[in-house]
Amino acid sequence: MTGVILAGGEGKRLGRDKTEIVLAREESVIENIISKLSTSFEELLMITSQKKYTHYAHRFAHLNVKIRTDIFDARGAIAGVHSGLHHASHHYSFFVGCDMPFLNLSLIDYFKEIADGNDVVVAQCEAGYEPLHAMYAKSCIPYLTKLIHNNNLRIYDFYPDVRSRIVHDDEIARYDPEKLSFFNINTRQALHEAHKIHESLVKRENCTL
C-alpha cells in the first residue's frame, strides 16, 4: 500500500505553510508524519501544488518520501486525493493531511486490515466523515474525476456510488478513544490547542515510564 500526505494547501487561515509547523524541538509535524507512515507503508508520496514542487522536492530530498504534483490545479483536497491515487504504485493508498500531528498507527493498521474488497475506508464521527484520514483504491479515480469536472469538491459525495466501509465510533474507540487522529491544524487557535495536547501527551508518556 501507499501512504499519501496532502500538502498542497496555502494555509491561509493559519497564516503560514503548514509543513513548517513544529510542536516538538526534534522535528516538524510533517517530519513526524513521514516517520510514522514509513513504518507502515511500502511507498510514501507527498502531493503538492506545481508552485510548491521545487521547494518541497529540495527541502524533503533527505526523507523517504516522493514529491508529486496535483493533476488538477487549484481544486483543493479532492485534487490531492485524485493525484495521489494516480501517482501511487499500489492499488490502495492511505491519505492524511500534512497538518495532522496525532496519527495513531494502530488505527491506521486497522484501516489497512479492512480495506480488502472495498473502494473506500473512512471514519464517520459526530461531525461527519473524515475524508482526509481515509483509505482509497485506484477504482475511485473515475468518480473523483467526474466530481472535479462537475466542480463538486466534496470528496464524500461519491461514497454512495462505491463500496464504502464506514468506520464507526465503537471501532475507533478501540484504538483512539480521544479521536486525536482526526485533529488538524487549520487555524492559529488549533495550533495553540495542538501545543497543549502535545504537552499533555508527553507528560502522560513520561508518567508511564
Between the CA of residue 115 and those of 50, 61, 91, 93, 103, what are the distances in Å?
31, 30, 11, 10, 18
The β-bridge relationship of strands 43-48 and 2-6 is parallel
pLDDT tens digit sequence for 12-29:
777 678 888 888 776 789
Q: Would you state the cell numbers that stand for residue 163, as one nine-digit string?
A: 463500496
Answer whether 16's CB lies under 8 Å from 187's CB: no
| For residue 36, pLDDT beyond 70 | yes
Position 126 confidence tier, pLDDT thresholds 50, 70, 90: confident
102, 107, 108, 111 alpha-carbon torsion, rounded to 10°: -150
Return the number of other C-beta atoms located less than 10 Å from residue 201's C-beta: 15
Angle of helix 141-149 relative to helix 77-87, nearest 10 degrees, comes to: 140
Of 54-58, 114-118, 132-136, 142-146, give the lowest mean pLDDT range.
Answer: 54-58
Q: Would you state the cell numbers that stand for residue 12, as one nine-digit string?
A: 491561509
Rg of the Cα trace of the chain?
Answer: 16
Position 9 confidence tier, pLDDT thresholds 50, 70, 90: confident
Query: From CA 88, how far away is CA 69, in angstroms rounded?
Result: 12
Average pLDDT over residues 114-140: 96
Answer whether 65's CB lies under 8 Å from 42's CB: no
DSSP state of 95: E
Query: From CA 12, how far away is CA 18, in angstroms rounded?
Result: 10
Whether domain 2-208 has CATH 3.30.470.20:
no
The β-bridge relationship of strands 92-97 and 120-125 is unpaired
**Where in the chain are the domains?**
2-208
Instruction: List residues bridging with 129 in a β-sheet.
Output: 124
Report pLDDT for 208. Answer: 64
Query: From CA 71, how far away is CA 73, in angstroms rounded?
Result: 6
Q: What predicted TM-score, i.e. pTM, was given to this entire model?
A: 0.92
What one-character-per-residue DSSP string does 109-125 give? HHHHHT-TT-SEEEEEE
